[in-house]
Structure 1
């Protein structure tokens, strides 16, 4: 975050006229405060600059930086207001639109995020972040046709994009195209760019999910065990394996895995009914 804020402020101060020296000084002091992680001081300095010259067109950069500071502090509603103020100055700013879209995602306002990502794509049709995230939103909306179009556009631009490939595999799974989904996941598992243990664990869990849907629970168990060997903190693997054990009436093993999943962060409410069935 620090680098983003500093870069924006540097861009702003480089174009301020000499007549606005005090405005410049406030911005420079805000940069220094940010570099020292004194974010409250940086916010105060930005607000002073905004108050000094409320109509300065470069305030878009200051509002954007203010929003990023507020977002880092968990003040999401205030951050939203700041990003929106920034867009009042520069409604076609791709970086600010992306910032606001990301914030909307954090706030659970996915439809609002989709609108901002769509605006970005209208301005920059090859923007990979916007394509990736809009595809994800469309998939959650079960608009698989539009999700596929965005994933294919993303992968045409960047065939090695991990999230694009994984997202497309998930889409194939949701549409019941299990061989296609498995082919994509097998390709990711053998890709030398994704050999990190945690990444491999995620892929084994994803493949296990496809295997379960395809009626291959034995293969799924093998993949889930491999995922846990690679990453013992992989909560989804325990959750999925617990559900498999329960379907096989292995209630003791199921209970152990489900409780382990909860200890790793799965919401207790998500497994309450499953644990009841383990009795």
Structure 2
């Protein structure tokens, strides 16, 4: 995103669309301004979010009247989000949105931050607003579908997932969203082929964990064991994976192992009531 922003700013400078700076700070000349943006991109890519935020603040201060500042402000909000400062990120992105209320990108970014803050209804509203501005975008539709599953609106989520599948049936977002909807509707047999595709093209812990859960529910216990072992190798403390292994061990009549996995899942953040419900304890 920052690289794209650098290209936009460079074009504006070449066309004379950005006003000259009056301050004497060394960051006020054109080259230094673009260097700040490039350096912020590098800092973000390497996980140095405090450095990236400081660089973006300098760039914003260097050209306070620049028409591209709203893009910098949006990027600053996401850098703050990556650093775990979600309340601050929300404020920054809301400020950016006030300057560019029609921006689907800023709406989508704020939706991600609202999701992290647990404000799911507001996040869904932002993703929906982003889609009203650009119905072709995959990302806000994907995030909205996943949140709708979380809030129990599975049929609405499935409609979004079907749209993703129609537009790009082998994309990661389409496969993840549609398989998640099928799992939420207990259609585990139908979800497994999509998860096979997902693992073939985009293997990660979440995909193996999801297929393991489906295989447990369809009594393919050997397949589930292989999948959950792979998932836990990649993410050993994931409470959902530990709970899946607990259910698998229960189905294999390994009560002590099941109870140990359940306890470990709770220690790693699983809701105790959910654990009891899943394992019928």
Which band: TM-score by shorter chain?
A: 0.7 to 0.9
Q: 1:100 to 1:225 in 2, by over 3 A?
A: same
> Which blocks of at least 5 consecutive residues in structure 1 are unaligned?
212-218
Query: Which residue does 1:12 correspond to in 2?
Result: 9
Query: Which residue does 1:214 correspond to in 2?
Result: none
- SS at the partner of 1:15? helix
Q: CA deviation at 1:262?
A: 5.3
CA contact (8 A) 1:13 1:27 kept: no
1:48 maps to which of 61, 64, 68: 61
2:209 maps to which of 202, 207, 212: 202
- SS at the partner of 1:28? helix
CA contact (8 A) 2:213 2:244 kept: no
Q: 1:146 to 1:244 in 2, by over 3 A?
A: same
- SS at the partner of 1:39? helix
- SS at the partner of 1:108? coil
- SS at the partner of 2:84? coil
Q: CA deviation at 1:154?
A: 0.9
Query: Which residue does 2:33 correspond to in 1?
Result: 27
Normalised by the length of structure 2, the TM-score is: 0.76
CA distance in 1, matches of 2:247, 2:153: 28
Q: CA deviation at 1:160?
A: 1.0
1:121 maps to which of 114, 131, 137: 131
Deviations 1:52-109 (A, max 9, x none): 43xx433312321321332232222222122111112211112222211111112222
Q: 1:155 to 1:183 in 2, by over 3 A?
A: same
Q: 1:249 to 1:203 in 2, by over 3 A?
A: closer
Query: Which residue does 1:158 correspond to in 2?
Result: 168
Cα RMSD (Å): 3.3
Q: CA deviation at 1:47?
A: 4.1
Query: Which residue does 1:215 correspond to in 2?
Result: none
Are residues 1:189 and 2:196 paired?
yes
- SS at the partner of 2:12? coil
Query: Which residue does 1:253 correspond to in 2?
Result: 257
CA distance in 2, matches of 1:197, 1:173: 18
CA contact (8 A) 2:127 2:143 kept: yes
> Which blocks of at least 5 consecutive residues in structure 2 are unaligned?
23-27, 44-50
Deviations 1:130-170 (A, max 9, x none): 11111112222222221121111111100113343343233
- SS at the partner of 1:193? helix
Deviations 1:176-198 (A, max 9, x none): 4x3xx413313432678337474
CA contact (8 A) 1:98 1:117 kept: yes
